[in-house]
Amino acid sequence: MISLKNTSPASRIIVIDANHLTDSQLLSANIQQNLKNKVAKDLKVLTSIDENGNEIIIAPFFTNQEKDEHTNTEAVRSLGNLVFKLVSDAQLKEISIQSELSKELTYAFVEGLALSNYKFDKYKSKATTLIDKIFVSTENFTEDAVKTLNRIIKSVFYARNIVNEPLSTLKAKEISESAKAIAEETGIHYKELGIDAIRSLKMGGVLGVNQGSELDPTFTVLEWKPENAINKKPIVLVGKGVVYDTGGYSIKVGDGMMAMKCDMGGAAAVFGSTYLAALEKLPQHIITLVPAVENRINEKAFVPGDVLTISDGTTVEVLNTDAEGRLILADALVYAQQFDPEFVFDFATLTGAAMRAIGTGGAAYMGTASDEIKKIALEAANSTHERIAELPLWDDYAEQLKSEVADLSNLGGPLAGASTAGKFLQHFTKYPWLHFDIAAPAFLSSASSYRPVGGTGSGVRFMLEFFKSYIAHVKK
């Protein structure tokens, strides 16, 4: 928990502007002199003893004039992560931050530190020591900034937690219930379409993929509609909710299945960002859709060669049961149409190809939304460092999705797998739309700065920034 406080008995963290070390008001001339030779241009945290004989942690930050603003902001978040490591090694439970950086950079520092203060340890007999209280001096911060940061942390950790929860504890029913809990907390309207509704809507993608499961699929609908909403048509978010992806009969081999509890990372991203939008009381009408299934095997499971009928009547020949995400997303994208959306964003851990194309440092995206929306998205991605890179969605890719027996096949060729998956989705969109393939950034096999091993909550901070800039853009 982050709060405002000027003085406190907690351990002191002093963030200084290393470009102007000798101007520092927080460090004595003595300490400044001592530090002079020790601060280097690379990120590093130092310790010293203050006038009262207490240990202080000093985080010197060099603004790199040659780099852009976003690069510097991200470097400060990483500095926050370095301080976190030192503080957590020392098992300090309460820290107090004083900073000589700008408000924006201080915010990023605290953000990086607080995002690091996470561990999915509920199944460990011995819990990890984390920081209980982070105090920030009032000169750098406002009450509003503290509130927003706490909400960001809460919703990002919510998203990380549901990704990290294994199949045994998070199935289609549970993911919907987790959404119900955030809805009840915030005043979001929650609805779950159960199996009967899914059947009567003829969601053949959702039903087909889930056939190999003992349990029913779910389809969750969240609606955040504040009275002061500035958009007449809703923004619709769609998230892939494959609670586990074995690949089905096109089973994953080797280590391919290891991380597949993460295959509802899209659902986590859209639930998390709707949660955050509601906590922040954004004047934005948002509808969030999550189809949730298990892709696994029993004697009823779908098999390659099967033909499924999506809810709009499109027939799909399943050439690979491991390309299941697009099948359930198709039903959700069709369902979105009834809301006459302003635009639709979908988030999905959709393809290994997106991961190979750009790595874990960002998401691949593509779609038909206006250049204006793409521009706002790109800026939001850079400023939160939840970066996105556009891949093509050329008409040529549709050729690869032709089937001999059905309207579409669910498998493209050996190349451009992220784009052919996107092309498949596009078939079901009759509105401006963007698709974010977060297969890589949603789940990490080792920690990277303030992004922990496992679920990262990827997409949540990005969407908050997107919503805020979009609101500012509309009001203009």
Active-site residue list: 252, 326
**Interhelix angle 460-475/265-279, nearest 10 degrees:** 50
Q: Tell me if residue 313 falls in helix, strand or coil.
A: coil
Task: Output the residue with the shortest Cβ distance to ligand BES.
Answer: 352
Kindly tell me which residue out of 100, 111, 294, 322 binds Zn ion, with binding defined by CB under 5 A: 322
Q: 150: how many CB neighbours lie within 10 A of its CB?
A: 16
Q: Which of residues 192-231 bind ligand BES (CB under 6 A)?
A: none
Q: Of residues 100, 245, 317, 346, which one binds Zn ion by CB under 5 A?
A: 245
Angstrom CA distances, 424 to 26, 147, 396, 412, stand at 58, 41, 12, 9
Residues within window 387-416 making contact with ligand BES, judged by CB under 6 A:
411
CB 81 to Zn ion: min, Å: 30
Stretch that binds Zn ion, among 17-25, 129-137, 170-178, 256-264 (CB under 5 A): 256-264
**Contact with ligand BES (CB under 6 A) among 74, 263, 294, 342:** 263
Of 245 and 386, which CB lies nearer to ligand BES in the complex structure? 245
Q: Which two tokens stand for residue 9?
A: 């008995």
User: Of ligand BES, Zn ion, none, which one does residue 3 interact with (CB within 5 to 8 Å by kind)?
Assistant: none
Residues 6+ apart with CB under 8 A from 31: 48, 50, 58
Q: Scan residues 228-257 and list those touching ligand BES (CB under 6 A).
A: 245
Residue 352 binds what, of Zn ion, ligand BES, none (CB under 5 to 8 Å, by partner type)? ligand BES
Least distance CB 416 / ligand BES (angstroms):
11
Cβ atoms of 245 and 172 closer than 8 Å: no
Comparison of 57 and 439: residue with beta carbon closer to ligand BES: 439
The dihedral through the CA atoms of 67, 69, 71, 73 has a sign that is: positive
Shortest separation between residue 398's beta carbon and ligand BES, angstroms: 15
The minimum distance between CB 245 and ligand BES, in angstroms, equals 5
Coil, helix or strand for 376? helix
| Binding positions for ligand BES, 304-363, rule CB under 6 A | 320, 322-325, 349-353, 355
Ramachandran angles phi, psi of 255, nearest 5°: -85, 5
Q: Where are the alpha helices (DSSP H) in 343-432?
A: 352-358, 371-384, 396-399, 417-426
Q: Pick left, alpha or beta for residue 187 (phi over 0 → left; psi -120 to 50 → alpha; otherwise beta).
A: left
**Quick one: which of 148, 67, 73 has its CA closest to 105?**
73
Tell me the closest approach of the beta carbon of residue 262 to Zn ion, in angstroms.
Answer: 9
Nearer to Zn ion by Cβ, of 29 and 253: the residue is 253
State the residues that interact with ligand BES by CB under 6 A.
245, 259, 263, 320, 322-325, 349-353, 355, 411, 417, 439
